[in-house]
Amino acid sequence: MYVYYRVTGDKGLARRAVGDMMAALEERTGVCGRLLRRCDDPDTWMEVFAPLHDVAQFTRELASCELQHRVGQWAERGLRHRECFVAVEPSSAS
């Protein structure tokens, strides 16, 4: 899963809140997240969570951790965009 947003306010406090949220999420789900920023725009951050074995359960836990750690306050207009992708299986040869 990918979560991306533009950071507003104090980036140090935002980084701490996101780090705390990711640690809590890892404790709850076993999924270790990574935090990235755009190369050409340091205000755009992206969290990457993989692998996900139960997307629905992970999404519920993510929503809970987002609220608990109030990370939406650091996103421009409170908008954190979520996208989820799965691997494309190779086609079988006939």
Domains of the chain, CATH where assigned: 2-80 (3.30.70)
Per-residue pLDDT of 27-77, as tens digits, reads: 999 999 999 999 999 999 999 999 999 999 999 999 999 999 999 999 999
The C-alpha atoms of residue 26 and residue 5 are separated, in whole angstroms, by 20
The C-alpha atoms of residue 7 and residue 12 are separated, in whole angstroms, by 11
Per-residue pLDDT of 2-13, as tens digits, reads: 999 999 999 999
How are the residues of the chain apportioned to helix, strand and coil, as percentages rounded to the nearest 5? Answer: 45, 20, 35
Q: Is the pTM of this model over 0.85?
A: yes
Tell me, what's the pLDDT at 23?
A: 98
Pairing of strands 44-49, 33-37: antiparallel
